[in-house]
Structure 1
């Protein structure tokens, strides 16, 4: 489980702060998918990057609770320990050179390798098992650079999971995927969260898809976050108020947007 307590995320430059998201108190449960929603520029990526230590958190506490109920302040862990307990998949396209799909996935075992840096039999077993779980075994021998966006995303997810994380964070994981692949990815993430009992937190612009397939929502509005079950946030009008525009209105009955008439 991931718990945010009085978190503020943003930027600090020459002693001055620019707060993007403030006073965040939220929980992302284990074994579930939590979707972070908000308008463009609301600070979704900034918040996620701050939670996992990719940029400084302005203030607050990020607590990761393991299966035994033991709490750890995530950003107080050593980089190596944090890399073992968390995995991150970002939107940036990576340059993998001539690496094959399997070699990209093997990079996910790096935090566990010894001084020699060689994979053990267990490491190779985990890589093979994860590729099979994600139905990506046929991509193992292909050059990563020559694969489609959907195939690359599946391998990057495998690279994240092969590290056996307690927390999986994804920033816009469906950004370069077609409609069918987006649905497949969300279904896969739900299955992974439940099957492995891990906490999955992702940001997305796919509001309708998140409402159907996420277990919990974090919604950024006016620099604050509210959270709850998708059905609750639809029923109380938070989704409609946040994403409605002059030309589009959210229909709570169908859970879709329609053009205003």
Structure 2
């Protein structure tokens, strides 16, 4: 390939990248504009909250329980070397509340909910159902996008608290089988080192993760094209981009929370 052709290809790629960023920005701003304008589709939002929770509950239950049990099992040998197995409940609780619960919930939801939203809206776009809604004087953006983004933003923090509880129960089972610790003693020790800052940080994380999963899934699905191939691409992109942004948000929020923790 000649140097001129290479330059042309790079130029086109750069143009596409800037155009994608601009379209995402417009979509983002439109979401906030539509959210605070007109009547909220409350019934649809409640329906989406139920769908998101129902789809993720079983998977989060299994993953959370196994995460708590495995993390406890892996941490015991290190503490046992120093004769500090009594610190195990506190260590596990700190890890789960500060990081694992929110991250596990977000990653599972990104795979389960993000792909579902991307595929659903992508299917509606390529079959022209969204165009039909516009013709029938229904605001498809508010009905389809705003409700799903708000639903994921509300539901993910609730699922995060549930994942925290299930993970701690998995940790308790492992501890009580090995050390014979009682239920009350375990949870008293577990929450001894947990502060309101830890809980607030986890809530902030899960709200940010829920919004990211919802807005990315809706953006990919709402702007899908090229028939069934576009639907698959929208679902895949929703998962990949959501997970990538979740890890970036994790780093940023942890840095900010550590600033206040010092």
Report the TM-score when normalising by structure 2: 0.25
Larger radius of gyration: 2
Higher strand content, 1 or 2: 1
Could you say which structure has the greater relative contact order, defined with CA pairs below 8 angstroms and 6 or more residues apart?
2
Higher helix content, 1 or 2: 2
Report the TM-score when normalising by structure 1: 0.25
